[in-house]
Chain A
Amino acid sequence: MVYLLSQIIDNAAQKFPERQAFRFQGDRAIYADLSVWTNQLANVLIEQGVKRGDRVGIFMNKCLEMPIAVHGIMKAGAAYVPIDPAAPAERLKFIINDCNISVLISDTAKAGVLGTIAGQTGLTCLIGTVTDAGLPYSTISWDEIRSAPAHHPLQHPIMEDDLAYIMYTSGSTGQPKGIMHTHRSGLSYAKLSAQTYGLHEGDRLGNHSPLHFDMSTLEFLSGPSQGACTVLIPEEYAKLPASLSKLIEEERLTVWYSVPFALCQLLLRGALESKSLDSLRWVLFGGEPFPPKYLRALMEVLPQARFSNVYGPAEVNQCTFYHITEPPDNDLESVPIGKVWPNCEGLVVDNDDQPVSGANQGELLIRTPTMMRGYWNRDDLNAKAFFIREPFSNYSEIFYRTGDLVRQNGDGDYVYLGRKDRQIKTRGYRVELDEIEAALSRHQEVEEAAAFPLPDAEGTAMVAAAVILKNGSSIESSELIHFLKSLLPAYALPGIIKIYRIFPRTSSGKIDRLKLREFETDKSTN
């Protein structure tokens, strides 16, 4: 019986030893080998002093070592912490220090950025990185790991409520926050998703999402829990739609999961008419609303596939699901996010946390076994993130406050209406507008900054910003973008930064961001 995420690979290896677990370009790993390789990595980590509950970072581009890292770290009793491989040095340093990472699994291409933060973190050991740059880290190569003891690491008994992974996401204070998932919450997700989509050992899942994005847990955890094969899609394929559609065709993928943006790109520029994509049986998307006109077109191109709108903040993995049988008739109608999964409960409340009835709008609260333990080291946020219901004395139920506004339609499906706060989604990524403003304000020439979303032609939102410069400053917006690149991940960078002399204000004197947004929308459409 599997009750820990760290048992998934060994369990599949017993049932399907010869089946392929992961594929990356020309390379492949079968479950029997993956079981041995993850044991070896776990034994090396333990030898390096990694203990139960410790955090080990993963900072690399897609490669066949990535699943070894994910599952090997968990086998050692530690939690994996995926870091955006394109993260600027400042963000990388913050995450390493925030959760005290001393061992990092990386690749040689990252030696440069790791060199720039040398001596500024508690990092002591790099795995998979060959460097002769005199960096103050000990290094262990994959060749050395492949000659390490292959027995199962038994030194650390792992419990269901132990930490399994931490995913960092945009934080409103200007620094990212770490979402902690346990073996219990991660495995609950793997089981529920596998059951919902009927995943089996014959499936081939395409891993389009980066590892630090919570969607990747479907391909790294749920698929392997059923002995399925995951095809890791190199980052560069995501940028050229025709290469991506060719890969789906050649790899005969059966399950696709991505943000709507990627699917729209495939539809609009992927030359789908010349491809045979009849292997796809599930097209799953989530992260932001899918523009109905593109969804209708895509459903026509892929008549054999079943489509599902998937919803759930990274804090609860996923928690709702909506099987789309008919796309919306008109472009203004949005696709419902559906009903909560079995064993989950949704509650829609007003500003006083009182349940609202019927079709009234309110904030969605979720109670689910897939819910995070909390934010790493952020008691201030944890105090606000949860809602506790006590239907009986000595019995409490914990809900996560999603911050998402919803209502229920006539079929009892939830319909997403917007956010309670200033978080936006751009190409599926969560961006806190406060974080952008905080970052811009750190520039010495900036007096005041405002960030807001602008719709773009691809059916998603882009981040836009406006600044007022200090007296006498003559810097250009390109310099500000350059500055932001050192602080923010690429997806959060504003598409435009406009320099204003004065900002429109509300009657209370606050910056009128709605006016700024209207003003810039008019300019971009005229």
Chain B
Amino acid sequence: MNIDEAIIKFVTRELLNSSLEVEADDNLLSDGMVDSMGMLRLVSYIEELMQLTIPHEDLVIENFRTIKAIVEYLEQREVE
């Protein structure tokens, strides 16, 4: 499973309890989507999945607004 598929599955099932799959471009920060507690869980999930630590200064809107943005951020991390 790709990273984006794993994150989509986690957000859809664990954070949104939704039957409708979240899409890579959906705004995770908008109303009724992931709340502040959910965001904490998402960060922990990604850290465990990727075996990395996300520095606090990277916990910003630009990196976490969509699943696409998260994946881009993680790819950027790998390059560095």
Contacts and interface: CB of A to CB of B under 8 A. Distances in A.
Interface of A: 61, 85-86, 235-243, 246, 261, 265, 269-271, 274, 427, 458, 462, 478, 481-482, 485, 490-491, 495
Given A86-B32, A235-B31, A478-B13, A241 B19 contact: no
Given A246-B60, A274-B57, A236 B32 contact: no
Contact of A242 (B29, B36, B58): B58
A241 B59 contact: yes
B61 to A, nearest CB: 5
A269 B58 CA distance: 10
A239 B29 contact: yes
Nearest to B59: A242
B8 interface: no
Given A86-B31, A239-B29, A481 B36 contact: no
A478 B14 CA distance: 9
B77 interface: no
Contacts of A458: 37, 40
B15 to A, nearest CB: 11
Contacts of A271: 55-57, 59
Main secondary structure of the interface of A (DSSP, over half): helix
B17 interface: yes
Contact of A238 (B31, B36, B55, B65): B36
A481 B56 contact: no
Contacts of B32: 86, 485, 490
Interface string B36-64: 11011000000000000001111111001
A273 B6 CA distance: 33
B35 interface: yes
A242 B37 contact: no
A236 B59 contact: no
Contacts of B35: 239, 490-491
Contact of B36 (A246, A427, A478): A427
B18 interface: yes
Contact of B29 (A236, A481, A495): A236
A297 to B, nearest CB: 14
